[in-house]
Chain A
Amino acid sequence: MPPAQILIVEDERIIAAELTRRITRLGYVVVATVGSGAEAIERARVSCPDLVLMDVGLPGEMDGLEAGARIWEEFKIPIVYVTAYAHEQTMAQARTPQPVLAVRKPFDVSQLRHTLEQALAAPR
């Protein structure tokens, strides 16, 4: 079985670089790293990844929750959010299937691995 392909959406390039390296070392393939919601939708359409790792606090008109919702509605690709927002209310606004999976910043590799495995194992 080929390794799962993951699209990373994170506007902070340093954080995106750490995520890319950690995810690659976990055995997954990072298909692309983009920094906005619009780019994420476009890239998801082109690459059809198995999972999107989505930062919640994206710049511009479309935040990560909105971009995640649109990707799920259009392509049925599972979303794992990455967030520095501590509030449950923030994640409660997500329009992706329950349970909404999120990696909280500051993240560590075991938390990241566990959440990715959980998301990829979920039925689509």
Chain B
Amino acid sequence: MAEVSPISPLIHPKGSAAMLEDILITSELTCRRPSAPNYASENCAPAALAREMAVNPCNLLQALVDKAVDLCRAGTAGISVLKTDPDGEYLAWEALSGVYAPYIRSRTPRHFSPCGTTLDRNAPQLFSHPARYFTYFAQAEVPIVEGLVIPVYVSGRPPRTMWIMAHDETRHFDVEDVCLMTSLAAFASAGLQVVSVMEAETQANQVWCTREAPRQVSVYEHMAAAGSQERPAGAARRTGEWQFQRLLEKLPAAAYTCDPDGLITYFNPQAVKFWGRAPKLHDPVDRFCGSFKLFATDGASIAHDACWMALALKMNQEYNGHEIIIERSDGQRLTALAYANPVHDEAGTLLGAVNVLVDITERKQAEEQLQASLHEKEVLLKEIHYRVKNNLQVIASLLYLQSDYLKDPEDVALYEDTQNAVKSMALVHESLSRTGDLAHFNFAHYIESSTTHLFQSHVAEGSRISLDMELDKIAFDVDTAVPCGLILNEILTNALKYVFPDDRSGNIHLTLRAAAEQVTLSVRDTGIGFPAGFDFHNTESLGLQLVGMMTEQLGGTLTLTRGGGTTFTVRIPYGTR
């Protein structure tokens, strides 16, 4: 890692132009649409951190900030601890990951920093471009766009903060990030508490690790101790077993160990809570798992000797992140992610296995509720399209009934045109109710059904007017689709009604092309064409006026080319609206 000068509050590149209120935007968190939770990564995090706690607790804070960068898609993550020197209180950056990792020795003042402000308010805080107020951040090469800070309190330890930064203008933190950071902060708190207790108790035994020379407490030591019938000799081994149990006890997840025969050798208090019972140790009645019953996610019953722990021992391989459902004796079912890992001694002999069960029952329920709610919305949306379509049919029927009272065929034709325009809009809703996606309306599909409808309406059976189409698959939003549908309806209606008089044969060629930021809709006919001197910009034809209006509404252009018939070309912006 490249060495850089630490950020120092003593260097003020420029005076602060903003007020604290200008950069503190915590209230925005509730207004932002939360990003979709990444349950898979999120669920893996506790197990990965638990392993870190078991193997190398001194590295837990670094593991936490690494995880924070990963899970929150942050530019930088860090943990600050409150310290005091003769100049006063300050927050030292004790673990860093990401863009600002080289600034590991930096510090910020207790009473003039985002971390200090967060400790004052004792709640998560969101900052926008904090360098506008905390001007010392301007020393850093990469600016901070947003900073989310979470307070971390551990009994008997100085307060800390855990934080993430975004350096990218497009990344904005939301409540989902607050949830993730709060979970990670809880881990930090639990981990620091464990280290605290260990430090205090092992200082007397003179065997505990220091930060400079961390002593790795391995699962191996515990398994070796637990697997043997005799208590292992030697202070180190006893200490290893004791430390490992301490760690597992503090884990915010159920954890237990088995010997190679599947007999349970240890379980933590969270396992008792999760199983709803405390199995006897080394008892063949409870082999591989202390739960009452086990089920797969499809509801099929799983025998204890086929659970993930049993497989880890029998197959001598890891099974991580697999879902399992446990049933307590009172019938209550809980879902967990199992992390079953075999443990070996240095010679590779299987000593047993450790299984960490992360309770995801609440998440599963929330996920199911979310799915149900989504389904309900989809049904509702389809029902709305159905009703709109039905109402448009009512309008078309009304126009038909009214046209019955008209005597002049030209008036009747006008009514028919209006009916077709209404039906053209109804067809948009027909297509939408099929896809249910307002943002991605398949316009090529619409053209296919719309042209069939118009040909049925205007062209007598046996007519010699042919149609061919070259359509790119283009997704429009509904605001573009409706006017575009009307444009197509008017141009095609005009062609079918007027350009092939006296049963003339001919062809209509329709193309829809997408190029860079532009869609081109072109309708070319081989009919008689418009009379010389015809100005379609100043026409009395309502249909062509509508084409002009709709094109203008879409911010597009309309051109008419004569010669061997007529070609209408409509170009509209695409992907930039």
Contacts and interface: CB of A to CB of B under 8 A. Distances in A.
Interface string B378-421: 00001001100110111011101100100000000000000000
B404 A21 contact: yes
Given A15-B394, A108-B457, A84 B386 contact: yes
Interface in A34-90: 57, 84-87
A3 B485 CA distance: 39
Nearest to B454: A108
Contacts of A84: 386, 389-390, 393, 430
A106 B433 contact: no
Contacts of A21: 400-401, 404
Contacts of A95: none
B453 interface: yes
A85 B461 CA distance: 28
Contacts of A109: 457
Interface string B422-440: 1100110011011000000
A17 B397 contact: yes
A106 B423 contact: yes
A87 B433 contact: yes
Interface in B529-567: none
A108 B423 contact: yes
A11 to B, nearest CB: 10
B84 interface: no
A105 B390 contact: yes
A18 interface: yes
Contacts of B385: 86
A108 to B, nearest CB: 5
A14 B397 contact: yes
Contacts of B393: 12, 15, 84, 105-107
Nearest to B398: A14
B398 A104 contact: no
Given A17-B397, A86-B433, A86-B434, A106 B389 contact: yes
Contacts of B394: 12, 14-15
Contacts of A86: 385-386, 389, 430-431, 433-434
Contacts of B457: 108-110
Contacts of B427: 106
Interface string B127-169: 0000000000000000000000000000000000000000000
B218 to A, nearest CB: 58
Contact of B390 (A12, A17, A87, A111): A12
A106 B392 CA distance: 8
B390 to A, nearest CB: 4
B456 interface: yes
A14 to B, nearest CB: 5
Contacts of B397: 12, 14-15, 17-18
A16 to B, nearest CB: 8
Nearest to B395: A14
Nearest to B424: A106
A108 B493 CA distance: 15
A109 B401 CA distance: 14
B441 to A, nearest CB: 13
B184 to A, nearest CB: 44
B287 to A, nearest CB: 48
A107 B427 CA distance: 10
Contact of B401 (A14, A85, A110, A111): A14
Contacts of B461: 110
B400 A105 contact: no
Most buried by A among B386, B398, B453: B386
Contact of B456 (A14, A18, A87, A110): A110
Which of B389, B390, B392, B397 has the most chain A CB within a 10 Å cutoff? B397
Contact of B430 (A14, A104, A108): A104
B426 A105 contact: yes
A104 B382 CA distance: 16
A44 to B, nearest CB: 24
Nearest to B393: A105
A45 B154 CA distance: 81
A15 B453 CA distance: 18
Contacts of B386: 57, 84-86
Interface string A93-124: 00000000000111111110000000000000
Contacts of B453: 106, 108
A110 B392 CA distance: 19
A76 B328 CA distance: 56
A33 to B, nearest CB: 13
A113 to B, nearest CB: 10
A106 B389 CA distance: 7
28 contacts: A12-B390, A12-B397, A14-B394, A15-B393, A17-B397, A18-B400, A18-B401, A21-B404, A57-B390, A84-B393, A84-B430, A85-B386, A86-B386, A86-B430, A86-B431, A86-B433, A87-B382, A87-B433, A87-B434, A105-B389, A106-B389, A106-B392, A106-B422, A106-B453, A108-B453, A110-B456, A110-B457, A110-B461
Given A84-B430, A106-B393, A108-B423, 12 more contacts: A12-B393, A15-B393, A15-B394, A18-B400, A21-B400, A85-B433, A86-B385, A87-B433, A105-B426, A106-B422, A109-B457, A110-B461
- 7 closest A-B pairs by beta carbon, nearest first, are A18-B397, A106-B423, A105-B393, A110-B456, A84-B389, A106-B426, A84-B390
